């Protein structure tokens, strides 16, 4: 039976007007999100991950942003064509977002309880008494002890991990159908990261929510994702199931990301880094944007942008190396070995 499609992003292209010129932040990306799944979007800083998802929420600055093309379809409605008033009914209720730094996202002048109650009163038309009862249940659900006491406290009285739990409680308050998590564990230490990830996995099963998880940490991706989209220079360069991306990667950029993951066995060896820097998207390069950093680049990479080649029904990659006439190039074995070691270490540490 076909999965229900919750969200469909088609040919989305976004630029920002800056003092230096037009910055092409997102360049024709496409992806789908299905009911109950977690789609991870990974890539270096500046690759367009957050811009893409903020476009879904209509949270990009209106004055400096130009949306050149695209559709974002949710329940047969194009979110790009919605008015601000229409989006206010969707935000928090149907599509919710967890931001990277809860200290800057939570209101320091309001108690935690009032901040959880607010979307319940606005979107669910709850009375204050019912909203407070629901807020207490949500605090308990996300693992905050003594919710009756905590509900009256302010954000500065919570630790970083607890504040992130509060953000999750706010996001889940109205049982959204889609949850966007924008690097929700980046500011947390490793132990708290593991707790938050486990919490999100548990809540997803209980609430059957579809999640878009934005991160640059491939270890986190392995723990939470069903499918993975790899972004580079404003484009999706590879997409597939988590096993396809990690065990059968096809794009040289994905190879580089996997090779740069540290393992316990690395010792005194130098940690691999992808050579060079991402391109300046004020001046989009010809051909494949990754070509100048790609040791396997072909002549055509500098002239023509590669299309998405199908590897399997669920796996696609935009690299000329998949063309039938391309030379036979496979990822270096040390990359696959490194990933296998990482998975072994992860199991030993967390199980």
Give tens-digit pLDDT for 2-48: 678 999 999 999 999 999 999 999 999 999 999 999 999 999 888 99
Least-confidence region, from 28-42, 68-82, 124-138, 178-192: 178-192
Q: Which residues contact 118 (CB under 8 A, 6 or more apart)?
A: none
* pLDDT at residue 165 greater than cutoff 90: no
Which residue pairs, CB below 8 angstroms and at least 24 apart, start in 109-115? 109/154, 110/154, 111/151, 111/152, 111/153, 111/154, 112/139, 112/150, 112/151, 112/152, 112/153, 112/154, 112/155, 112/158, 112/166, 113/151, 113/152, 115/166, 115/170
In this prediction, residue 171 has a pLDDT band, given cuts at 50, 70 and 90, of confident
* pLDDT at residue 160 greater than cutoff 90: no
Q: Please state the rounded mean pLDDT for residues 211-232.
A: 89
Of 9, 3, 62, 18, the closest CA to residue 281 belongs to: 18
Q: CA 288 to CA 278: how far, in whole Å?
A: 12
Q: CA 256 to CA 260: how far, in whole Å?
A: 6
* pLDDT at residue 349 greater than cutoff 50: no
DSSP 56: H
Give the pLDDT score at 24.
Answer: 96
Choose between 263 and 211: higher pLDDT.
211
Q: Which CATH superfamily is domain 5-225 in?
A: P-loop containing nucleotide triphosphate hydrolases (3.40.50.300)
Give the pLDDT score at 351.
Answer: 38
Q: CA 186 to CA 184: how far, in whole Å?
A: 6
pLDDT tens string 271-289: 778 889 999 999 999 999 9
Rounded to 5 degrees, what are φ and ψ at 47? -80, -10
Which residue pairs, CB below 8 angstroms and at least 24 apart, start in 154-159? 154/108, 154/109, 154/110, 154/111, 154/112, 155/102, 155/103, 155/106, 155/107, 155/108, 155/112, 156/108, 158/112
Give the pLDDT score at 268.
Answer: 62
Q: Which residues contact 224 (CB under 8 A, 6 or more apart)?
A: 38, 40, 197, 200, 201, 211, 213
pLDDT tens string 71-106: 999 988 999 999 999 999 999 889 999 887 767 788
Task: Report whether 43 contacts 232 (CB < 8 A).
Answer: yes
Q: CA 294 to CA 226: how far, in whole Å?
A: 28
Mean pLDDT of the chain: 87
Q: Which residues pair with 90 in a beta bridge?
A: none
Give the pLDDT score at 45.
Answer: 87
Rounded to 5 degrees, what are φ and ψ at 70? 125, 165
Give the CATH fold of the 235-350 domain: Rossmann fold (3.40.50)
Q: Which residues contact 252 (CB under 8 A, 6 or more apart)?
A: 290, 294, 295, 296, 297, 319, 321
30, containing H or E segment = strand 21-34
How many CA atoms within 13 Å lie on the side-chain side of 192?
13
Q: Please state the rounded mean pLDDT for residues 40-68.
A: 93
* pLDDT at residue 339 greater than cutoff 90: no
267: left (phi over 0), alpha (psi -120 to 50) or beta: left
Give the pLDDT score at 29.
Answer: 96
Choose between 132 and 185: higher pLDDT.
132
Give the pLDDT score at 200.
Answer: 80
Choose between 195 and 91: higher pLDDT.
91
Give the pLDDT score at 92.
Answer: 86
In which residue ranges of the chain is CATH 3.40.50.300 found? Answer: 5-225, 235-350
């Amino acid at each position: 039976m076909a999965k229900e499609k919750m969200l469909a992003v088609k040919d989305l292209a976004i630029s920002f007007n800056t003092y230096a010129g037009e910055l092409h932040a997102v360049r024709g990306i496409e992806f789908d999100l299905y009911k109950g799944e977690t789609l991870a979007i990974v890539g270096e800083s500046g690759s367009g991950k957050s811009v893409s998802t903020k476009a879904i929420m209509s949270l990009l600055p209106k004055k400096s942003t130009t949306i050149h093309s695209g559709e974002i379809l949710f329940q047969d409605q194009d979110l790009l064509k919605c008015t601000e008033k229409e989006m206010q009914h969707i935000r928090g209720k149907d599509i919710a977002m967890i931001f990277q730094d809860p200290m800057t996202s939570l209101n320091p002048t309001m108690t935690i309880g009032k901040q959880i109650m607010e979307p319940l009163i606005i979107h669910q038309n709850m009375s204050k008494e019912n909203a407070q009862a629901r807020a207490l249940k949500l605090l308990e659900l996300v693992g905050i002890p003594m919710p009756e006491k905590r509900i009256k406290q302010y954000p500065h009285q919570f630790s970083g991990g607890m504040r992130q739990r509060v953000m999750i409680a706010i996001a889940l308050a109205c049982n959204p159908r889609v949850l966007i998590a924008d690097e929700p564990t980046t500011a947390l230490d490793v132990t708290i990261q593991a707790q938050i990830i486990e919490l999100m996995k548990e809540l997803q099963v209980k609430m059957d929510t579809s999640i878009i998880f934005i991160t640059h940490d491939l270890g986190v991706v392995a723990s939470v994702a069903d499918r993975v989209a790899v972004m580079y220079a404003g484009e999706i360069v590879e997409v597939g199931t988590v096993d396809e991306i990690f065990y059968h990667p096809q794009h040289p950029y994905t190879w580089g990301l996997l090779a740069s993951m540290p393992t316990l066995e690395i010792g005194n060896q130098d940690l691999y880094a992808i050579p060079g820097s991402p391109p300046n998207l004020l001046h989009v390069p010809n051909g494949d944007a990754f070509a100048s950093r790609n040791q396997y680049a072909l002549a055509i990479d500098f002239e023509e942008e590669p299309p998405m080649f199908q590897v399997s029904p669920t796996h696609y990659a935009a690299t000329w190396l998949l063309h039938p006439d391309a030379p036979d190039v496979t990822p270096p074995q040390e990359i696959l070995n490194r990933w296998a070691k990482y998975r072994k270490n992860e199991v030993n540490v967390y199980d």
